[in-house]
Amino acid sequence: MSPATTASASTAQIKKRQPKKEVAPQPEPVVEATEIQQEETPVVTVPETQEKVKALLEYASNLTKMVKTLESEIKQLQQTYLKEQKQSKKKKKRTRAPSDKKHGFLGTSAISADLSSFLGLKKDEKVSRPDVTKAISKYVKEKELFTEKKSIFKPDQKLLKILGEPAFPISKKEPSVLGYSYFNLQSYLKKMNHFIKA
């Protein structure tokens, strides 16, 4: 054996003899365990829930009653409003602006001296046509100048002075018969110019 081979053989034996160094395992990093906090849900008992439901139902029924009451009050208000509107419209129709002056047939006017003395009025006193008709009608009744037909009359001398000679038919049914009636009385007064225009 050559000295080189013996040296290599001895080193190999030495290597065999030397125990292997054991490497200690490195400890793993310790992770601290964090506690997971769970939210505690409140435990509701059955009677508590029932009471809440009951309270809500009662509140809802109260609200319903209030709504119904409001609806009925609104309907009453509407009816009252409509009645008042109708009444105000009627009042507006009935009430006209008050006027002391009457016009046309109902208006007062100055009259002739003859008619004024016949009626027993003062000189410048004004009178309406209906008032003259009433006065003549009263005179006819007092003196009993009417005929069988109460609407037709025969004037005496005093009334004839006011009305003049027969010139108008006593009625539309008898156009050929001239005479004096309440139907043509205003025509006689107009013909004799008893009403003086202003």
Domains and their CATH numbers in the chain: 104-196 (1.10.245.10)
Q: Which residues contact 175 (CB under 8 A, 6 or more apart)?
A: 169
Determine the residue type at 136: I
How far CA 140 is from CA of 41, 91, 119, 144, 195, in Å, comes to: 114, 42, 13, 6, 21
Q: Which residues contact 143 (CB under 8 A, 6 or more apart)?
A: 156
- Which residues pair with residue 196 across a beta bridge? 110
CA atoms of 133 and 136, how far apart (whole Å): 5
Q: Could you report the per-residue pLDDT of 33-44, keeping only the tens digit for each?
A: 555 555 666 655
Cβ neighbour number for residue 113 with a 10 Å cutoff: 9
> Would you say how long the chain is, in residues?
198
Reduced to 3 states (helix: H, G, I; strand: E, B; else coil), residue 138 is helix
Q: Could you report the per-residue pLDDT of 110-143, keeping only the tens digit for each?
A: 999 999 999 998 888 999 999 999 999 999 999 9
Predicted TM-score of the model (pTM): 0.48
pLDDT of 51 reads 87
How far CA 103 is from CA of 85, 90, 133, in Å, comes to: 32, 25, 17
Q: Could you report the per-residue pLDDT of 37-95, keeping only the tens digit for each?
A: 556 666 556 778 888 888 888 888 888 988 988 898 899 889 989 988 888 887 766 55
CA neighbor of 133 nearest in space, from 172, 179, 188: 188
